[in-house]
Amino acid sequence: MTEIKTLKQRLKPGIKAKLESNSRKYSAAVRSLFATLDKTKFVSDLTISDVRSLHTFSDTRLHNLNAYDLMWCEHLFDDND
């Protein structure tokens, strides 16, 4: 049986790179977000605030996303292998 990866492990490389880049300027916020993602395995366990922070600190634009994108965040995370 394969272990389910954490959301931090499943972050898309471009999203993770943006978060790491913004951690220089917003260290406490990004560090807190990484801690949350490191202990969370399911997108449904994230709060609206967590998802908002992910978009904010990864410089992800919301104008081209639909409700499905915001609900499941497939644009932010890879599938669990």
Task: Report the Cα 29 to chain-centroid distance in Å.
Answer: 13
pLDDT above 80 for 47: yes
What is the predicted pLDDT for the residue at 81? 62
What is the predicted pLDDT for the residue at 33? 97
Give the residue-averaged pLDDT of 51-76. 92
Give the separation between CA 14 and CA 18, rounded to whole angstroms.
Answer: 6
DSSP, res 26: S
What does residue 46 show for φ and ψ, rounded to 5 degrees? -80, 150
Give the residue-averaged pLDDT of 33-40. 97
What is the predicted pLDDT for the residue at 9? 96
Q: What is the largest CA-CA distance in the chain?
A: 40
pLDDT above 80 for 32: yes
Residue 80: both structure tokens together: 């669990």
